[in-house]
Structure formats: C-alpha cells, structure tokens
Amino acid sequence: MTETRHFLISHGAPILFGAVLVEQLGLPLPALPWLLAAGALAATGGFNLAAGIGLTILACLLADGLWFYLGWSRGHQVLRLLCRISLEPDSCVRRTENLFTKHGWRGIVIAKFVPGLSTVVPPLAGMSDMSAARFLSVDALGSALYGACYLYLGYFFSAQIQQIGGAIASIGTSALCLVVGAFVAYIAYKFWQRKRLLDELRMARVTVSDLRGMIKAGDNVVILDMRSKQEFDANAGIAGAIHLSIDDVKEGRYQIPRDREVVVYCSCPNDVTAARVALLLRRNGFSNVRPLLGGIDAWNQWDQNNAGERKAS
C-alpha cells in the first residue's frame, strides 16, 4: 500500500488528467475512482485539491472543445457516429437531445454527472446557436463542479477509501483480475443487450422508392417523423409527416388511424428509434406499420442523386 501511495503522490496529477480526458472523449473508462482516490490522497497531504480541480477543468475543456467543434463543423454526422459506437443504440443521443432541449445551457452542467451523456452534449451545443465562448464558460463551470464534488467526496471519506484500497492491496493480483474481469463482463453484457435489441427490432422495412411510389400514387399513408425536436426544427423532413416523440406514441397523445398504412422514420443508425416505435405500434394492434429503410438520410440521398441526374440531363 505504501508503494502505491508513493506512486500516486509522484504521478497523481498526470494520471488524474489522463483519466478525465479519456472519459470525456467517450471511452468507457470512468474517471470517478481516480477523482475519489485523489481526494483521499489530498486528505493526507499527498495531493493538492485546487490542482485537481484545475486539471479536471483543463481535461474537460480539451475534450469537450473538440466535440463542440466537431458538432459545429460536422453536425449530425457526429451524433450518428456516437450513436453507432454506443453500447446502447441511439438512447444516449436521444436522452441527451431531450436534456439539452429542455434545460439549455444548464444541461451542459447536469450532463457532467450523468454517465454516457457528457460526451454527447458538446456536439449538440456546437450544432445549436450557442457561441464557443459561452459553451466553454458553462463547460468550465460544470467541470469545476464535477471535479470538486468527487474530489471533496474522496477527501471527506478518505478513511473508508483507504480501507478499501488496503483490502484490495492485500488481495493483490487476484483483486486486479477481479476488477478487469468485472469490467470485461460489463462490456460483454452491454454488447449482448445491443445485439438482442437489434435482433428484436429486425423487421421488414419500406424502401424510399416504395414510399415515394405510395405518395405519388395518392395512397393515404401516415408518415411519422421520430427525430428529436432540435433536428426536426433544423432540418426539413418528409412533407406531410407527423412529428412525434416516443412518449407521444406511448401515451397515445396523437390518434394514429388503424386502417391506414403507417411508415416511421428517424435519423439514427439501424433505424433503431423508428423500429422501436413500429414494434410498439404492432404490439398495440397496428398490423400495417413499417420503418423506413435508411431513415431521413436515405430520403435526402435519393433527392440528391435524382437532382444530380436531372442536372446532368
């Protein structure tokens, strides 16, 4: 335990900085244990709390500033990337969009304390009309509160944390293997959950060509737009589509005709949200409901391809 303490005293600052930076960049490696350990170390005079808060702010600003720029320059491409690599398809992005839409700049502070959301908020802020200076100032505030909260938590509960650390050190290599094994099991479980969800949502989809054919033929098809409010306001969807949230569908706030064909679309990889809604409607007695294959991206791509062909001709 003494060797570990000396190591943390000598290298605590770069370790803490690296742990927070990696977490804010989006890797599933929590910085919380290192913040608590640094706080506990500060209680014995081996670490400076002010320096710890400063390092936390710096690491957060570097990572969040990068995500903010990518959101500003790449827009929804970044959100789709985050959704694609997430262990919980589309839910992280959708929940964060709702948080940011509801709370605005306060959502940046709140997200710091919610695992899985802090990486998604910066690109959302970059896509909004928030200036970089305002974002960085609010992000610095949230980062300071985040760092101070857990550092001081470790400081005030240093005795208990040292007891836990001592118990782990006494077990030695077995404890490390146990921690690594638990982490690997958690990741494997999340991947299994993801695969099970995607398997459940695998159903027949309607293509863009088929949907355009229905509209051209005058079929009385109901089209549901399940994108977030922010994206719906920023980007035009399919003409005549009804914009709803999943909660609207669950609580029956809009009466969807049961005798008409229903097509659902979204903007997330694998059409996850659209497939969720289609599955929900099927379980509630809708027999003729399908997600749009490729969602709004496929619809817009069709427009671009045909515009190029008309221009060439």
Read off the pLDDT of residues 192-212 as tens digits, 9 standing for 90 and up.
655 665 565 566 788 999 999
Contact (Cβ atoms closer than 8 angstroms) between residue 126 and residue 135: yes
CA 302 → CA 55, 78, 202, 220, distances in Å? 48, 21, 23, 22
Q: Which residue has the higher pLDDT, 83 or 35?
A: 35
Q: Which residue has the higher pLDDT, 284 or 230?
A: 284
pLDDT at 230 over 90: no
For the ranges 151-155, 184-188, 293-297, which has the lowest average pLDDT? Answer: 184-188
- For the chain, domain boundaries: 2-172, 208-308
Q: Which residue has the higher pLDDT, 184 or 297?
A: 297
Q: Which residue has the higher pLDDT, 79 or 140?
A: 140
- The pLDDT value recorded for residue 1 is 46
Helix (H) or strand (E) holding 289: strand 289-291
- The pLDDT value recorded for residue 313 is 47
Neighbouring CB atoms inside 10 A of 159's CB total 10
Region 286-308: mean pLDDT is 85
Question: Domain 208-308: which CATH class?
Answer: alpha beta
pTM over 0.75: no
- The pLDDT value recorded for residue 6 is 62
Q: Which residue has the higher pLDDT, 161 or 274?
A: 274
Region 179-188: mean pLDDT is 69
Q: Which residue has the higher pLDDT, 304 or 161?
A: 304
Region 89-101: mean pLDDT is 58
- The pLDDT value recorded for residue 183 is 64
- The model's pLDDT over 10-41, given as tens digits with 9 standing for 90+, comes to 777 899 999 999 989 888 778 888 898 888 88
Sign of CA dihedral 278, 281, 285, 288: negative
Contact (Cβ atoms closer than 8 angstroms) between residue 261 and residue 291: no
Neighbouring CB atoms inside 10 A of 250's CB total 11
Q: Which residue's structure tokens are 């803490």?
A: 16
Region 163-174: mean pLDDT is 58
- The pLDDT value recorded for residue 192 is 66
Letter for the amino acid at 93?
V
Region 263-284: mean pLDDT is 84
For the ranges 34-48, 101-115, 141-155, 269-283, which has the lowest average pLDDT? Answer: 101-115
Q: Which two tokens stand for residue 226?
A: 């399940």
Region 110-117: mean pLDDT is 79
Q: Which residue has the higher pLDDT, 192 or 55?
A: 55
Residues 122, 153: Cα–Cα separation, whole Å: 26
What's the angle, vertex CA 247, arms to CA 120 and CA 259, rounded to 5?
Answer: 130
pLDDT at 137 over 80: yes
